[in-house]
Structure 1
Amino acid sequence: MANICRYFPFLFLLIAPFKAVQSQESYFRIYDENVGFSSGETKALAQDKAGFIWIGTQRGLVRFDGSNFVPWAANQLNDPVATLGLVVGADDELLIRTRSARSGRLWRRTRDAVEPVLGPEGKPIDNSVALAFDARGNLWIVLGKELWRRDRAMQWQRAGQGMPATEKFRGLRAAGQSMVAVTDEAVWRLRDNTAAELVLRGGVFDRVAGDDDVLWLSKRTGTDVDIWRVDAHGAKQIVSLGRYQYVRDMTQRGSTLWIVTQGLTALEANGHLRNLNVDATILPTGGPILVDREGSVWLGTSVGLIQFPEPDTWNWFSKNNLKRFWQAGDTTWVQGDPRNILRIETATGVVAKEQLDADLCIQPPQHIWAVSESKVYAWRGSTFKDGAFEPVADMPAGTEFVNTCRTDGTGAVWIYTEKDLLRLAPGASRPVPIRTAGAQHVAVLWFDDRDDRPLAWVDGRVCRLHVFPDDHATAEDCVAGDGLRTVQSVQRVDAEHIWLVAVGGLYALDGHNELRLLPGNRSIGGGEISSTAPAQNGQIWLSHGQPVRVQACADCEDGWRITERLSAWHGLPGNSTNYTLETAEGDLWTSGFHGIWRVPKAVRSQALGIPKTVLVRSQVDAELRDPGAPLQLKPGDRRLELEFASLSYRDRNLLRYRSRIGGEGDWSLPMRDPRLQFAALEPGGYRVEMSASLDGEHWSDPPASVEFSVLPPWYRTGWAQTLFGLAALALLVLIYRLRVAALLRVESERTRIALDLHDEIGAGLGSIGMLAGAAARTDAAEQTRIVREIGSVAGLLSNGLRSLVWSLRSGKAGLAELGEQIADHARRLFPDEEPRLSLKLSTPAQEISLPVEVRRHVLLFALEALHNASRHARARSVEVRLQANVGKGFSLGIRDDGIGFDPRRDTPGNGIESMRRRAKAIGARFDIASAAAAGTQIELTWPDISPHA
């Protein structure tokens, strides 16, 4: 989420400055048009039970989830939201009061819109003046000039018994279990049906805050504005805000009362006022103030919204780069850059600047020194207000530049200049140079209470400096580290280890004088470590943009274990810490490029909450869906995007998200993006869960859960699957029946072939058998005749078999080819002059393509007729005629002039019935005419087109 982070140049108000007010700064964020919030002046603020921030503006109602500003019911709320016109009840009922001319309309938020609130008479309310919910969920509302109370059962009752009818209501505010009503003359406390209790009368009361025990009131008397406190001991004026002030809103956060006037003021429990003015770009503030459930303070302005994540963390000199600091007694000493010295009264935050161009050297609590190129100064004083720097020694002539200075346990000051290492002994009037044999550049880094030899930086190495009484020294136990450059800070970790912060990272020097770069430099993040400092519990503070407390450990992968990390949650912006100081009281002070920050112990001890996670946006392809409605994807929908929001606002950089599908199984790895995208989902039901955490250990419970379904395409629906199943079953039945039919056809074909072979060949073979038997019983001449007859029968059989095979071929054949087959067979049957064979066959010009089945039956029909004529007719002539008919088909005629027969008589062996079956099989007409001594005429016409066919 983009936001703008600034630091207040907190100024006194230009109109009638507050008395005894200290200007402090606190880290804050601004939400305005630069981050998508452009709804004009903020009039009202509220937070619902889920955690959404609701903003009433000049242009309507807006919901904020930490990332998105969503206009709510823009087509219904055409009027601006009235000042302080948002209230949330015990049942998460959000009421919105809008203002149009003199009308005060009241609306209730629904799932995705608003609806009018009905009043005591059952009609929409349009005359509301003020409203508030008490702790029990009862709604108190001023309608016109009357006060009403609506209980949680939606029953209305008049309230305010005992209040004078002449007083006009100006506002309502819940205070503990009671309700406080402000009129134009007094302040009253109300409790259910009991008579009103007078709190304070006299003056004009603008705002009220507090609880059952203490009430805070802003009271105007003439042009003076005062803050009053009312408790069991009575009413008492606490502080005057000056003249011509108007209190727009007040709220209590802990023991601090936050007051909104033209700026923002904090009245602390000790009576101190802290003025938090905003700069000219966002004045005037507009008014409403809200403390959310995480403790952040939200302030409405004329152009947007301001959030203070932790206003109890103070900041001084936000535009200065401040270096080291120390705490001595009631004073915090600060070394500025350029060389200036600042003093802060720790308890009050009062700041004093020393007019002294020098570097501080402090050994708390007694030794406070400052060194310039010409003088050494000592602080002579005991408290913040009493004391001053006095010169105590002169620097050597020619001193050009003081790099740094240190103070040892004896009070001696060690000064590192551009050329020399100097030492000023207690009581001496001039520092003396310390000459180190064989060294050019020497700087004392740190004084070790376990070794008389200070740790020093000697020509790029870390050494122990052995100083002799005659002010010369030798470098001992020197060690050089890989990449070690410019040591900035030294801290003892335990009896065996010392940590050194250098430009190259954090190094550890052990008791064996071995120096190594700690692995944790790679994983700490936030840039290089700039310094170390002791923590009150014996651990170490690392400063690397933000303060981190660590515990050294030999068995840790990084060399340390992080035990505390401060961030914007604690009121510290990023890159704010180069040096850290933890006081005995537990407050943490940091300094860096944005001045000095003080994080109170109470702020440090606040536990990170467990954020609530909700679904705020669902989008199918380019279509936005209602996140609260059932979600169903059609077969043609390609992509689904779900966006969740973690309703935590204090430090969103800490937020991490994890997800899982199905509500079971392992969670995903933590991620920063709360959006999930799905594409090409299979049909079915899905459940997605999203959880959030601020510390990586405690996650949203329960997580946000979204259930949705993907509809199958029509061909994957139940009814389609049933139809497909039935169709498949029908197809299988059809295939089975076709297969059976095919098998039956094959079997029928085999049967027909067998019959044809029997008809065509069986008789011939029988004749051959009988002739062969007869030949065995006759003489040679008769045998010769019989053998010739056997050869003739065999030839006929061979010819008939070839004709049969031809008729079964699947290739194309026409009427002419059929005629050739019949003619060939006829010639073999009638080779002699008598009976004389006459052939009248179809010509190619009359070609007709014939199906295989027709060819076969017609050929066998003709062979049967010819065989009958050959065997039985004793004819003198045989005529075979095959010709195409006019229009369609053909006719086959076989005529002989033999002895004839009576067709009506069932004569065995004449084949008449066989010919009739074949004609019927191909749909042909069969005609036969014969009589004794009159010959026989057989006619086959295909297809049969006679009327009786």
Structure 2
Amino acid sequence: MLSKKNLLLSVLLLWPCVLLAQLPNNLLFQRYSTHEGLSDNYVFNVVEDRQHFIWASTFQGIDRLDGVEVRHYSLIDSSQTDAQPSIEVIRDYKGGIWATRNANLFKYNPVQDQFELKVQTKNKEFSANNKKIKQKFALLHDSHNQCFWIASEKGLFRYQIETKRLESTPIRSFSTPYKIISINTNTLIIATNEEWISYDTRTQKSFRIPKPSTEWVIYSTKANHWIYSDEGRKIWEISFQNSQFSLPVLTEINPERQEIRSIATLPNQTGAKTLWCGLVTGGLAVQDTENKNHYQLFNTRINEINGFHYRRILNIFQDSKHNIWLSTDQGLYRANPTKFQIQKELFPFFRKLNISRVRQIVQHASKPHLEWVANSNYGLFLYDKVRQKIIKSFEMPGSGITQIKYDRHGRLWVLSAKMLTIIDAQLRIKIITTTHLKPNLLCWRIIFDRYDNAWIGSEIGLLKVAFPTHTLTVHSPDITDSQSISHAFVYDLKKLNNQKIALATRNGVDIFDIDTEKVAEKIGPRQNVFALDIDSTETMWVAYSNEFLKISNHQVVKSWKSYGNNRALRFKNGLSVDKGGKLWMNTNDGLLHFDPSTEKFQLFTENDGLISNYFYGFIYENNGNLYLNYEEGVNYFDPLQAHIPPKIYETLLTDFSLLDVRQGIDFRKQQSPFKVNYDQNIITFHYSVVEFDQPEKITFRYQLEGFDKGWKNGNTRRDVSYTNLSGGHYTFRVQALSSDGNVASNIAAFPIFVTTPYYRSWWFFGLIFCGISSFFYGLYRYRLKQILKLQHLRNSISRDLHDEVGSTLSSITMLSESAKKSIDIDEAQTRKFMESITTNAQKVLENMDDIVWAINPKDDSLESIVLRIKEYAYTITETKDIHLSFDIDQRFQKLKVPMKTRQNLYLILKESINNAVKHSGCNELKITLKIEKKALNMIVQDNGQGFDVLKPTLRNGLENMRQRAEELDGKIRIDSQKNKGTTIYIQLGS
């Protein structure tokens, strides 16, 4: 743990608004510890930023609080120290958040959401590199000069916030420094363990004086003055005038002579500043240094009652919302002096006597320190609340006390099940029995008229106890009398005026005339009335089980069935109008307050100081307090105490994530829409409201304009995600709401732009349309091409049949006719004709076979051509005794070729072989088929007699071969010399 010399002090920010003239006697504290999310229970100090987040420095780093969540930040640097870290969080003159860790200075970057190192001890101005830090470090933010003053054993340094420069000063060395304070705009006081040093920031002049105390507390209370504590726990004041220190003057601060740990200032209603002193003993002393007035001392006992358990207060701070923050070694404590204060009082003697349930508390008529405490199943006690001691008890076993109330003669009336009891000022008892009316008769409420008669609501009707005879009369319902009460069960009754009283029965509200002792009027719904009360204007307020009525001039003028954000009203047994005309109601949700002037509801629960949300009832008593009854104690409060004006929640956007990755955005400066790529289209918005008083009451509603059709209820959740947004502009809006509907808030907005994926863009749809159109057009063209191809094939077959077969068949026909004519004339000629017919018939068969082969898809490979050529070549050469050889590339046979190519190629080779066999006179024939450079190369070579290729010929074979080669985009070349043979080169493809 740190020594007391190492504890930091902080100046409390001035209140932005006026407080009450005096602080409440009991501050209710709420503790924040590691259980609530703090990184460590040892808290050095806190500050508030411009968005009202609370930043706390702990041993583990910096924590940011908003009332619900705590976000942790680490302060990372390369320096090392043997001691535990000393950490402080600071707000600069622009609202920026800074932090120190030992002698290192960090600044918070809201875009990156992290603290960045700005000044490190490794800088040459401080110490040598890689040396462990052992010197003390002190820092002061100077808003006037817009800089930080940093003191170490190496001297005093100035860090310029705007230029980010670290500058040295003429002061080059210190004994161990521990505190820098500013006593005016140009003068610093630097406290070390041996001396005080005054430094003028304008002239850079300084002087030193010995320090009269080894204690570390030093604090500037006003300009050119500061106070310090000595070893004897006395507080001294020193002034600074004309560059001179005055002699120390003993002050009246801390009359208890308790050692002070921390000091802060706080203005009261008149404007004078009060000192808040955190004591070593674990208390808070509030001092008025101007008027030497000791306001309060929050000692250990009071603090324990109010939930404040700590050892040392290291820092006292007040934020802009009036919260007082105490930084201690046991956590962070918060109290709000302006909050509506609900006190509690417990009765430990109840447990000792094995009794429970406080029915009512009434302040003694003449002795305010005494209270009458009524218990439902034991009796009545006169209790000294100062000495916490029972003065007198009245045991009433099984009596079932329901109410106690003073009349104007100072007599206390006690309503119970078996009797009515009257206790006078001398504590003498008079009993009025009721057992003759009904054993264990329940009597609920009592009032007194102008004649001092007592009127009591009971379960058998309205009872009258006449004054002074105490004669008992019962008014019961009578079906034969229209002016009798509506129901025997009269739960509540109130004075409407001096002549009439209002009765709450199980069958509606009756107006009863005390002079005629008859019901003058019956008002409102005929159903069970839970409670009623009447204000100073004779307006009646009536509560049913789930409805609340306003009755004016005996007419129902308005009703309510819900409050806040459509929260259903559910009443229990209690309703009271205070002296200010405000209403207090007992509901299932807790204590409900209603202001008739604004028609606003406000709910108070356990978080506001109630012992429990469920209490048995309450009564507005003679001391002006409203009491709520519980098992072992009561809540009580002054209903006329000032109410906090309605707050305005400031809704904040805190983070924006894409695919669960936080984006660096400063929401205060972001104006243009944030661009979101379509493939990052899982987005999350994080939002918050900084509120520490009942943050659980805050709910949210949100809307993504461009996607959501209206506002959506987000309940208490503080983030919302969207996926698969279409491309376009959107604006996310979020607003905080209070559950009771009393708090307004701004609407936080953040625009985004989601890019359109290419597959949803107009040009992509255009491409799809063009592609589909092109596909169908291509399909149409392909179909047309196939039809034309088929037609071309038909035409080709028709032409081939006509050319090859038709002419031959015509020849056969003519030869047949000639043979018929010559058969009887010339037998030899007839035989020649028959041989010609046979030859032509064979030729027809061959041509038909070639045509069928050409159009057969099974024969669409070059291998088929090779086989057919081989068959043809071997057949034709065998008869001529010609030696035939083939040189065929294996790749050649695997190629697929179209029908037309196959036919023309075959016919070219066939014609070449036929010409060689018939006309060359060769005895050797070689056929070469190869693939070279993606081209089909075919060579037909013979060793025949050759011919002159330039000499014209009447044969059409060579010309047909050239035409067929051209159809295939091929080339044909013929080399031939006389007596040296002929070579035909055929090349298809490039």
The TM tier, using the shorter chain, reads 0.5 to 0.7
Any conservation in 2 of the 1:567–1:651 contact (CA below 8 Å)? no
Aligned match for 1:412, one of 446, 453, 461: 453
Relative distance call for 1:31 and 1:821 in structure 2 (3 A) is same
Q: 2:804 maps to what in 1?
A: 760
Relative distance call for 1:306 and 1:152 in structure 2 (3 A) is same
Q: Deviations over 1:574-608 (max 9, x none)?
A: 838876899999x9956355733537867524331
Q: 2:492 maps to what in 1?
A: 445
Mapped partners of 2:957, 2:359: distance in 1: 131
Instruction: Indicate the SS of the match to 1:857.
Output: helix
Mapped partners of 2:154, 2:867: distance in 1: 119
Q: 1:283 maps to what in 2?
A: 310
Q: Deviations over 1:635-674 (max 9, x none)?
A: 9879555534433333322433455558999774342222
Q: 1:71 maps to what in 2?
A: 73
Relative distance call for 1:318 and 1:742 in structure 2 (3 A) is farther
Please report how far the alpha carbon of residue 273 of structure 1 lies from its aligned counterpart in structure 2 after TM superposition: 1.6
Mapped partners of 1:858, 1:85: distance in 2: 96
Instruction: Indicate the SS of the match to 2:858.
Output: coil
Please report how far the alpha carbon of residue 768 of structure 1 lies from its aligned counterpart in structure 2 after TM superposition: 10
Any conservation in 1 of the 2:685–2:720 contact (CA below 8 Å)? yes
Mapped partners of 1:425, 1:287: distance in 2: 65
Please report how far the alpha carbon of residue 533 of structure 1 lies from its aligned counterpart in structure 2 after TM superposition: 2.9
Relative distance call for 1:300 and 1:576 in structure 2 (3 A) is farther
Matched, 1:856 2:913: no
Q: Deviations over 1:744-782 (max 9, x none)?
A: 98898788668646743685699899999999xxxx999
Aligned match for 2:613, one of 554, 568, 575: 575
More deviation, 137-146/177-186 = 177-186
Q: Deviations over 1:560-582 (max 9, x none)?
A: 95355567997779838876899
Q: 1:615 maps to what in 2?
A: 654
Mapped partners of 2:46, 2:688: distance in 1: 19
Mapped partners of 2:32, 2:599: distance in 1: 36
Any conservation in 2 of the 1:253–1:291 contact (CA below 8 Å)? no
Aligned match for 1:656, one of 696, 699, 707: 699
Relative distance call for 1:318 and 1:791 in structure 2 (3 A) is farther
Q: 1:832 maps to what in 2?
A: none
Q: 1:395 maps to what in 2?
A: 432
Instruction: Indicate the SS of the match to 2:857.
Output: coil
**Partner amino acid for 1:405?**
R
Mapped partners of 1:749, 1:456: distance in 2: 114
Matched, 1:92 2:95: yes
Q: 1:647 maps to what in 2?
A: 690
Matched, 1:519 2:542: no
TM-score, normalised with respect to structure 1? 0.64
Q: 1:9 maps to what in 2?
A: none
Aligned match for 1:115, one of 114, 117, 124: 117
Mapped partners of 1:457, 1:728: distance in 2: 84
Mapped partners of 1:106, 1:595: distance in 2: 52
Mapped partners of 1:477, 1:602: distance in 2: 36
RMSD of Structure 2 on Structure 1 (CA):
7.3
Relative distance call for 1:452 and 1:151 in structure 2 (3 A) is same
Please report how far the alpha carbon of residue 702 of structure 1 lies from its aligned counterpart in structure 2 after TM superposition: 5.8
Any conservation in 2 of the 1:228–1:235 contact (CA below 8 Å)? yes
Relative distance call for 1:816 and 1:396 in structure 2 (3 A) is closer
Mapped partners of 1:664, 1:924: distance in 2: 70
Structural mapping, 1:564-643, within 5 Å = 564=602, 575=613, 591=628, 593=630, 595-598=634-637, 604-611=643-650, 613-615=652-654, 618=657, 620-621=659-660, 641-643=684-686
Q: Deviations over 1:696-728 (max 9, x none)?
A: 87444665x58798998xx9999xx9xx99x99
Relative distance call for 1:397 and 1:860 in structure 2 (3 A) is closer
Mapped partners of 1:454, 1:301: distance in 2: 57
Aligned match for 2:278, one of 252, 260, 275: 260
**Partner amino acid for 2:263?**
D
Q: Where does the alignment leave 5 or more consecutive residues of structure 2 unmatched? A: 1-21, 128-134, 241-247, 348-356, 395-400, 479-484, 886-892
Please report how far the alpha carbon of residue 464 of structure 1 lies from its aligned counterpart in structure 2 after TM superposition: 3.3
Instruction: Indicate the SS of the match to 2:696.
Output: helix
Q: Deviations over 1:378-430 (max 9, x none)?
A: 78xxxxxxxx675584322758576433213424323456778543334x153
Please report how far the alpha carbon of residue 944 of structure 1 lies from its aligned counterpart in structure 2 after TM superposition: 8.9
Please report how far the alpha carbon of residue 293 of structure 1 lies from its aligned counterpart in structure 2 after TM superposition: 1.8
Instruction: Indicate the SS of the match to 2:567.
Output: coil
Q: Deviations over 1:266-309 (max 9, x none)?
A: 56898542526433983314332221221112222322112224
Any conservation in 2 of the 1:407–1:413 contact (CA below 8 Å)? yes
Q: 1:490 maps to what in 2?
A: 532
Any conservation in 1 of the 2:312–2:328 contact (CA below 8 Å)? yes
Instruction: Indicate the SS of the match to 1:677.
Output: strand
Instruction: Using the aligned pairs only, state the percent identity.
Output: 13
Relative distance call for 1:149 and 1:366 in structure 2 (3 A) is farther
Relative distance call for 1:702 and 1:763 in structure 2 (3 A) is same
**Partner amino acid for 2:140?**
L
TM-score, normalised with respect to structure 2? 0.62
Any conservation in 1 of the 2:238–2:249 contact (CA below 8 Å)? yes
Q: 1:464 maps to what in 2?
A: 510
Any conservation in 2 of the 1:400–1:418 contact (CA below 8 Å)? no
Structural mapping, 1:180-219, within 5 Å = 206=217, 208=219
Any conservation in 1 of the 2:46–2:54 contact (CA below 8 Å)? yes
Any conservation in 1 of the 2:530–2:571 contact (CA below 8 Å)? no
Mapped partners of 2:202, 2:941: distance in 1: 128
Mapped partners of 1:809, 1:423: distance in 2: 126
Q: 2:413 maps to what in 1?
A: 370
Mapped partners of 2:161, 2:87: distance in 1: 22
Q: 1:5 maps to what in 2?
A: none
Q: 1:36 maps to what in 2?
A: 37
Any conservation in 2 of the 1:142–1:148 contact (CA below 8 Å)? yes
Relative distance call for 1:683 and 1:407 in structure 2 (3 A) is closer
Q: 2:481 maps to what in 1?
A: none
Matched, 1:273 2:296: yes
Any conservation in 2 of the 1:508–1:516 contact (CA below 8 Å)? yes
Any conservation in 1 of the 2:616–2:628 contact (CA below 8 Å)? yes
Q: Deviations over 1:853-873 (max 9, x none)?
A: 46523665699799999xx99
Any conservation in 1 of the 2:547–2:561 contact (CA below 8 Å)? no
Residues paired across the two proteins, number: 839
Any conservation in 2 of the 1:540–1:549 contact (CA below 8 Å)? yes
Relative distance call for 1:110 and 1:466 in structure 2 (3 A) is closer
Mapped partners of 1:583, 1:207: distance in 2: 48
Mapped partners of 1:429, 1:753: distance in 2: 142
**Partner amino acid for 2:455?**
W
**Partner amino acid for 1:89?**
D
Mapped partners of 1:437, 1:193: distance in 2: 91
Mapped partners of 1:159, 1:819: distance in 2: 112
Aligned match for 2:957, one of 903, 911, 914: 911
Any conservation in 1 of the 2:678–2:754 contact (CA below 8 Å)? no
Mapped partners of 2:561, 2:252: distance in 1: 56
Q: 2:600 maps to what in 1?
A: 562
Q: 2:851 maps to what in 1?
A: 804
Q: 1:242 maps to what in 2?
A: 256
Any conservation in 2 of the 1:315–1:597 contact (CA below 8 Å)? yes
Any conservation in 2 of the 1:141–1:147 contact (CA below 8 Å)? yes
Any conservation in 2 of the 1:65–1:646 contact (CA below 8 Å)? yes
